[in-house]
Structure 1
Amino acid sequence: MDYSQWVSVQREDGETVGYLDPCDPDYNQVIPRNILGHAVTEGCEYLTGEELLLERGIREVMDTWVLDDGSAERTEVLSIVEVSPQGIVLANALRTKALQPTERIHVSWPDIARRLTISHG
């Protein structure tokens, strides 16, 4: 996916809270995407999308996540350690909280394939 046309949405302090993915060349309709690149709603007007992302913030980064939810190989609960255009870095949530060494897992950014889902357990 080409994300070169995405417009970053930033809080007053400069922290990026998400992106607006244009549905048309004039950006009349956009898809608001969170910091991971997940669509948070369907297409909407530019200002509506911007307001939505500012309201949401980045609080979901603090949630716990599972990778490829439903696969037998990945039932581990993970925490996001870093998000950047170079990738999303995750680690075992409990070990990270306890400041213990743990394997780092790298997922491509943006996570358009939605390999990451919020843990519900």
Structure 2
Amino acid sequence: MTTKTEISRIIRKHCNECYGRSHSVDECRGSPVCSLHKYRLGVCRGTTKTELLKTIRQHCLLCGGSPKEVSHCSSLVTPAEIKCVLHPFRFGKDPNPNIGNQKRGTHLNDFYGRN
């Protein structure tokens, strides 16, 4: 399961790549349509993980133009080489959601004696 802190760091990394490494992302004034601007510093107090994921989805829709383009996004060259750090989150979902559920399921299976 990806944590809220990890997602906020991923957003910050994307902002650094967008704004350019030679400039401080703190100084970014942001485009009026950039949904990630308020999260550019990697600080996401007062927001939930779900809100961050939906914000990434909004950003990807603006970048791609349509849900179809987002689903066919070419930012993933190979599984080892990703052009855009937001690519795994482009659907507004946690790409690793079941890790926590698997652990909970294991405890329940142990409790009920299931394998």
Common fold by TM > 0.5: no
**Could you tell me the TM-score, scaled by structure 2's length?**
0.25
Higher percent of residues as strand: 1
**Could you tell me the TM-score, scaled by structure 1's length?**
0.25
Q: Higher relative contact order at CA 8 Å, sep ≥6: structure 1 or structure 2?
A: 2
